[in-house]
């Protein structure tokens, strides 16, 4: 009882409550409990900032870091937790593992459509574009004379090594396969794609940015990657013809002439992924712990003078507004960033 009196005296003194043995009746003990609980809640409320969990494609690491810093200047009480991975891996963290996520941004908007909608998300907004390039370093074998005509032979040479990401984990991985098949068609080099894809398989990684260290350490000579990433890291790169680089919307039908098999929505299944112009997508999953904050960040990201200006600066041209097949499911505050599908 003496310990209770002392505790009650300490707390009660803070709130100017007179203390006597009588106070420590059942009613007094209830009051003591309430004070302790209220004091604890107030302390927690002061200490814990709002948290925003973002899963994003590896190629968004640089612009999203800048966007997060800019967003926090407007919302100083927010703590932003970001995880970079291949876009398909990001989606499966939500769909297969049930990981909580406030904002999911994919290097291929169709990943959201096929792996998250409708069970784990309701809508998808396209917001940026990119293109495929072949990057290299100063000492890369054959790089002193590489051009848009001879790069095929240089990459096939047994004296060179190149890297690519896993098609089942990362859009850059299946886009590399599509680029190789488009190159075979464009240059009239039958068998090129199969020969290239059979080579250097030990240098396949979960996402394209995992291979940057191998390139910079000269473990590999070449790497298929997005132009924005090569530019952000100050790397040398070869610009590929538009018929190959998956950049141009007006070549959508041409890109569609090639395809690759990748893992399906259900374990053990395979689906066909056809060539298409590169477009990034963003959504707020159903399990978002802080939905209002998530929507606020997406608004910031899609604002032409804020997030989209950062994307442009980082070499990823905005495509806002674009058609959204899930337009009717968009929150009203985000509809200005999308277009309704044509009937």
- Series of mean pLDDT values for 10-residue runs along the chain (343 residues): 47 46 49 49 58 96 97 95 96 96 97 96 98 96 94 97 95 97 97 98 91 94 96 95 97 97 88 97 98 98 98 96 97 97 82
Cis peptide before 261 (omega within 30 of 0): no
Q: Which residues of 215-252 are buried (b: 16+ CB within 10 A; e: fewer)?
A: beeeebbbbbbbbbbbbbeebebbebeebbbbbeeebe
What pLDDT, on a 0 to 100 scale, did the predictor assign at position 47?
56
Going from N- to C-terminal start, the domains of the chain cover: 2-47, 50-127+280-339, 132-274
Name, in order, each residue with C-beta under 8 angstroms of 145's C-beta and a sequence gap of 6 or more. Answer: none
The token duo for 89 is 């891996």
**Element spanning 165, H or E:** strand 162-165
The token duo for 54 is 């973002």
What pLDDT, on a 0 to 100 scale, did the predictor assign at position 38?
47
331 to 50, 142, 194, 206, 326: CA distances (angstroms): 21, 52, 45, 33, 10
* 211 CB neighbour count, 10 Å cutoff: 25
Contact indicator for 167, 177 with CB cutoff of 8 Å: yes
- Can you name the CATH fold of 132-274? D-Maltodextrin-Binding Protein; domain 2 (3.40.190)
Distance between CA atoms of 42 and 290, rounded to whole angstroms? 20
Distance between CA atoms of 254 and 217, rounded to whole angstroms? 37
Q: What dotted CATH number matches 50-127+280-339?
A: 3.40.190.10
Distance of CA 69 to the CA centre of its chain: 16
Distance between CA atoms of 56 and 88, rounded to whole angstroms? 10
200 to 65, 133, 161, 240, 255: CA distances (angstroms): 32, 18, 6, 21, 25
Tell me if 50-127+280-339 shares its fold with 132-274: yes
What pLDDT, on a 0 to 100 scale, did the predictor assign at position 28?
52
Q: According to DSSP H, which parts of the chain are helical?
A: 2-14, 26-47, 61-74, 87-95, 109-115, 151-156, 171-187, 192-198, 212-216, 227-232, 242-245, 252-255, 291-302, 307-313
What pLDDT, on a 0 to 100 scale, did the predictor assign at position 343?
72
What pLDDT, on a 0 to 100 scale, did the predictor assign at position 266?
84
């Amino acid at each position: 009882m003496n310990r209770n009196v002392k505790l009650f005296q300490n707390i009660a003194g803070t709130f100017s409550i007179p203390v006597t043995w009588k106070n420590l009746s059942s009613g007094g003990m209830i009051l003591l409990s309430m004070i302790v609980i209220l004091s604890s809640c107030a302390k927690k409320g002061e200490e814990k900032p709002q948290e925003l969990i973002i899963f994003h494609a590896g190629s968004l690491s640089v612009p999203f870091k800048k966007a997060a810093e800019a967003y926090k200047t407007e919302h100083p009480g927010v703590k932003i937790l970001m995880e970079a991975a291949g876009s398909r891996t990001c989606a499966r963290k939500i769909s297969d593992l049930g990981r909580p996520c406030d904002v999911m941004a994919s290097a291929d908007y169709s990943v959201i459509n096929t792996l998250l909608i409708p069970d784990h998300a309701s809508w998808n907004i396209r917001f940026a574009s990119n293109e495929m390039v072949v990057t290299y370093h100063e000492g890369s074998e054959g790089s002193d004379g590489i051009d848009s005509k001879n790069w095929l032979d240089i990459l096939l040479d047994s004296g060179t090594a190149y890297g690519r990401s896993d098609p089942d984990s990362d859009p850059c991985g299946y886009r590399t396969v599509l680029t190789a098949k488009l190159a075979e068609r464009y240059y009239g080099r039958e068998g090129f794609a199969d020969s290239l894809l059979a080579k250097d398989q030990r240098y396949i990684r979960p996402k394209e940015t995992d291979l940057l260290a191998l390139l910079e350490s000269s473990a590999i000579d070449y790497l298929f990657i997005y132009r924005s990433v090569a530019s952000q890291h100050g790397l040398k790169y070869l610009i590929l013809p538009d018929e190959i680089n998956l950049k141009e919307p007006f070549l959508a039908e041409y890109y569609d002439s090639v395809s690759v098999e990748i893992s399906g929505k259900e374990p053990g299944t395979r689906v066909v992924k056809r060539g298409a112009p590169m477009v990034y997508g963003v959504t707020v999953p159903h399990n978002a712990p802080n939905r209002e904050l998530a929507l606020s960040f997406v608004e910031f990201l899609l604002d032409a003078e804020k997030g989209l200006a950062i994307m442009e600066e980082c070499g990823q041209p905005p495509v806002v507004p674009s058609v959204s097949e899930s337009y009717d499911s968009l929150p009203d505050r985000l509809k200005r960033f999308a277009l309704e599908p044509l009937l």
